[in-house]
Amino acid sequence: MQQKLTSWIPVPEHSDFSIYNLPYGIFSKDSHTPRIGMAIGEHIVDLKRVAEAGLFHDLHADLSVFDRTSLNDYISLGKEVTTEIRKRVQQELCDEHSSLKEMSSAIVQQSECKLHLPVKVGDYTDFYSSIEHATNVGKMFRDPENALLPNWKHLPVGYHGRASSIVVSGTPVQRPNGQLKPDDDKPPVYGPSQRLDFELEVGFIVGKENQLGNSIHVQQAEDHIFGLLLFNDWSARDIQKWEYRPLGPFLGKNFASSVSPWIVPLEALDPFRVQGPEQNPEVLPYLRTQGKKNYDINLEVDLQPQGQPEPTTISRTNYRYMYWNMVQQLVHHTSGGCNVRIGDIMASGTISGTDPQSYGSLLELSWSGSTTLKLKGGQERTFLEDGDRVTIKGFARKDDIRVGFGEVTSKILPAKI
């Protein structure tokens, strides 16, 4: 059992940002340049100020990284250094005699700060790793008796997404225009998507590079994963349906993906490791993992129409049921010699559970528009309407330890005509 820790900074009982967490983000206050911070309760620890106080002087690392506008250079210090930095900050926050208590500039209120995209994303890959989600989609659009394609249980299916349109939580999302085919017997038309959807996902940040031509071995893969964040891979289902054959997602996906501003380091999630589902048939040797590679993370989605005072929670599920885990995703991604870079994001794909209340997209919740969701205030939905706000939340909890991700939230704006 993990040692009980208590911070001298007050942390609300149900805060995602406990002393056991200390996620990383990029923040700015007033007119100051954005820089690196750690979240604790309702506060942010300014790591630049902590470094200036000498807490890390003996680490033989470039301490100017704390003044950067993304976490990439900090992550590049390596886990040996970043884990030690997190450990020291954690110890200082538990020490009633810490010098940080006298440094008012080192601890700031989150409410007084702006949060920014935490990493500079060079590349982004989206997987398709929830067997429940893949089965649901297969039942809807293919043979219900053979919902999964023949390759699905042999490799983590994925595609390369668009990194330039990844935005931080709070950034509005414009309804995309595109080619639509509402009538099978008529030519396509161009206009705003009518079947706009969210996708509940968790993404991980690459924390260590490999050289082009070299694959990452399954036993070393976790050394290349820095941390996790929440991910909403917005989807225009009608645009996607018309365009995806034969090469897969394109305009139906590349208009926006939203991420939470805080990255939870992998070591903070150690208490929540669990065994994943049994993989049958047995996967090829290069994908075989040992030990607990899945994580018990509760996930939920809220939908709030414009003008409605309260959101409706429309989905509750858990990350633990993912068929393909992060290690397998990364190993397969590099198995042909692809080089990954620090700051790259790899997303899980839509996360769905076994019952209808745990589906991770409106495509499934409305079963491709055939049923409606009842919301508070009497409204109904099959897909998203303009003014709707979607919020994804996630947290892990075991005994008295809670480690959360905060939220990723965005409002839908009308299409530009």
What is the per-residue pLDDT for 417?
83
DSSP 307: T
Find the distance separating the first CA and the last CA of the chain, reported in whole Å: 57
Residue 242's H or E segment, with its range, is helix 237-243
Bridge partners of 347, per DSSP, are: 126, 203
Question: How many Cα atoms are found within 13 Å in the side-chain-facing hemisphere of 19?
Answer: 20
Residues 6+ apart with CB under 8 A from 370: none
What is the per-residue pLDDT for 398?
95
CA angle (161 as vertex; 158, 167 as ends), nearest 5: 130
What is the per-residue pLDDT for 60?
86
What is the per-residue pLDDT for 57?
92
Structure tokens at 68: 């950067």
Distance CA 365, CA 45 (A): 40
Active site residue 133: yes
CB 361 within 8 A of CB 130: no
> Residues 133, 224, 332, 333: which is the catalytic one?
133
CB 260 within 8 A of CB 171: no
Q: Where are the domains of the chain?
A: 24-116, 124-413
Bridge partners of 236, per DSSP, are: 196
What is the per-residue pLDDT for 44?
98
CB 268 within 8 A of CB 82: no
What is the per-residue pLDDT for 32?
85
pTM above 0.95, yes or no: yes
CB 35 within 8 A of CB 26: yes
**What phi-psi label fits residue 268: left (phi over 0), alpha (psi between -120 and 50 degrees) or beta?**
alpha
Query: Superfamily assignment of 124-413 in CATH?
Result: Fumarylacetoacetase-like, C-terminal domain (3.90.850.10)
Structure tokens at 203: 């993404």
Yes or no: domain 24-116 corresponds to CATH 2.30.30.230: yes
What is the per-residue pLDDT for 31?
81
Nearest-Å Rg of the Cα atoms of the chain is 22
**Letter for the amino acid at 43?**
H
The residues of the chain scoring below 70 in pLDDT are 1
Burial track 115-154 (b if 16+ CB lie within 10 A, e otherwise)? bebbbbbebbbbbbbbbbbbbbbbbeeeeeeebbeeebbe
**Letter for the amino acid at 396?**
A
Residues 6+ apart with CB under 8 A from 267: 83, 86
Bridge-based pairing of strands 401-413 and 389-398 is antiparallel
Bridge-based pairing of strands 401-413 and 173-174 is parallel
- Choose among 165, 95, 62: nearest CA to 123: 165
What is the per-residue pLDDT for 203?
98
What is the per-residue pLDDT for 113?
97
Would you tell me how many other CB atoms lie within 10 Å of the CB of residue 245?
7
Distance CA 281, CA 415 (A): 45
